[in-house]
Amino acid sequence: MQRLIDTLSRLARLAFWPALAFALVMAVVPKPPTLPIDDLGDKFAHMLAFFTLTVLAGSGWPRKSLLQAALWLSAVGAGIEVMQAIPQLHRDSDWRDWVADSLAILVALGPVLLFRAIAAKASVPDQA
């Protein structure tokens, strides 16, 4: 079981950086490509991105502080909104997008805490 946990953690670390880069690029390109989730709304896209980033960060670095990760990711969301306020990007900055990002981060803490609990239990040797 420990090997599976370690593998999942490594995969999450590897996936985090491309996911973060994708989210940042999609947030600042003047005319982002159309995605299948666009029909679900802008807030859904924000929440999906930050839920995913939180799960990847929290499970990829299971010994790091979840509070710090959540605050850092929320700051990334705020930074995106500040960047989208740059007129040359032709994007719309909306504080409600940051709220959606932050709510998704909070919701994602549930699966992360579950993963961390399973990982902690797997790392304890069986008492016979």
The full set of domain ranges for the chain reads 2-25+40-123
C-alpha neighbours within 13 Å on the C-beta side of residue 46: 22
pLDDT at 102 > cutoff 80: yes
- Return d(Cα 92, Cα 82) in angstroms, integer: 10
pLDDT at 31 > cutoff 90: no
Is the pTM higher than 0.75? The answer reads yes
pLDDT digits (tens, 9 = 90+) for 47-62: 999 999 999 999 999 9
Tokens of 85: 């306020």
pLDDT at 19 > cutoff 90: yes
Q: Average pLDDT of 64-71? A: 96
Q: Are 112 and 66 in contact (CB under 8 A)?
A: yes
Q: Are 126 and 1 in contact (CB under 8 A)?
A: no
Q: Are 97 and 66 in contact (CB under 8 A)?
A: no
- Which residue in 120, 126, 111 sits closest to 51, CA to CA? 111
What is the per-residue pLDDT for 34? 81
